Structure 1
Amino acid sequence: MRVVVPGQLYSYTGGQSQLAAEGATLGEVLADLDRRYPGLRFRVVDEHGAIRPHVRFFVNREPALALSCPLAAGDELVVVGALSGG
């Protein structure tokens, strides 16, 4: 499946904004990505296995609210990170 990542994660992906990944759930896809892009998963999932509050996932434009969310090979996963500043 195609995974679109925000600019905040480019340092983990070598500057790539779109990645290919495999997995039957959101959690499996993130594990697959982390094998190829170490550290990426920890930027979006905390040490307790919860999605970080500033991150949102969308599968085919629908919110994915849990790591157990099912995915299929042709899906598009978009990762959105909140911006902050002051």
Structure 2
Amino acid sequence: MLTVRLTPHLKRFFPVPDEVQVDATTLPEMVQRLDDLWPGLGFYVVDERGALRENVAIWVDGTRLLDRSRFGEPVRDGAVVHVMQALSGG
């Protein structure tokens, strides 16, 4: 079971809580569970190939996922995952 904390930005598009528990062992599986709960939310996080979108940042237990090739690797049971919108600009 993962604890997922979602960016407040998503509330503009989906009726999501600040935090939700999902039964998943990988981040792609987590995204699928979120999409099952709120259809369309998964496409906010991943593209049509299932790759993490460039404008989305994910932290697992306080560590940012910088190497996007590790997106499909297992996540420990009980992990806290933050799904955030990556911001840019100056």
Which residue pairs with 1:68 in the alignment?
A: 72
Which residue pairs with 1:78 in the alignment?
A: 82
| Displacement of 1:80 | 1.2
TM-score (norm 2): 0.81
Q: CA RMSD in A?
A: 1.7
TM-score (norm 1): 0.84
**5 Å matches for 1:2-21?**
2-10=3-11, 11-12=13-14, 14-21=15-22
Which residue pairs with 1:36 in the alignment?
A: 37
Matched positions, count? 84
Gaps of 5+ in 1: none
Range 65-74 or range 49-58, more displaced: 65-74
Letter matched to residue 81 of structure 2:
L
Residues 1:46 and 2:50 aligned together: no
Which residue pairs with 2:56 in the alignment?
A: 55
Any runs of at least 4 consecutive aligned residues in structure 1 with deviations exceeding 3 A, and if so which? none
| Percent identity of paired positions between Structure 1 and Structure 2 | 32
